[in-house]
Amino acid sequence: MKLPVTFEQFVKDPVKGLMFICLAAMSFLYIDARNQMKEATKVCEKRLVRCENELRKMAIMLKTQDSVCSALTTEIRLYKQLGKI
């Protein structure tokens, strides 16, 4: 692989060589960060789907419990009116 800056050019003007190295390093870090962000997004999307499913289950359970609680409250009132309690 031939580098765009030869050693002789680097010796003559080291700032250009360092700038090239810095540019290459920044490009690598940018691409790496972008890939990590994509992976993190996929993990978060999977977790979000699991949480939404769990929320749906909990909402159904809450409605069921609310119905049971309402029925029991009504039954207790009825027993109180009849004098059984």
Residue 65 lies in a domain: yes
Q: According to the model, what pLDDT value does residue 18 have?
A: 86
Residue 58 lies in a domain: yes
Tell me the pTM. 0.56
Residue 2 lies in a domain: no
Residue 38 lies in a domain: yes
- Distance (Å) of CA 17 to CA 4, 26, 48, 75, 79: 9, 14, 46, 85, 91
**Structural domain total, the chain:** 1
Q: Which domain holds residue 30?
A: 14-82
Tens-digit pLDDT profile for residues 14-73:
888 788 889 999 999 999 999 999 999 999 999 999 999 999 999 999 999 999 999 999
On whether the CB atoms of residues 17 and 9 are closer than 8 A, the answer is: yes
| Gap between the Cα atoms of 21 and 29, Å rounded | 12
- For the chain, count helices (H), then strands (E): 2, 0
Q: According to the model, what pLDDT value does residue 13 have?
A: 84
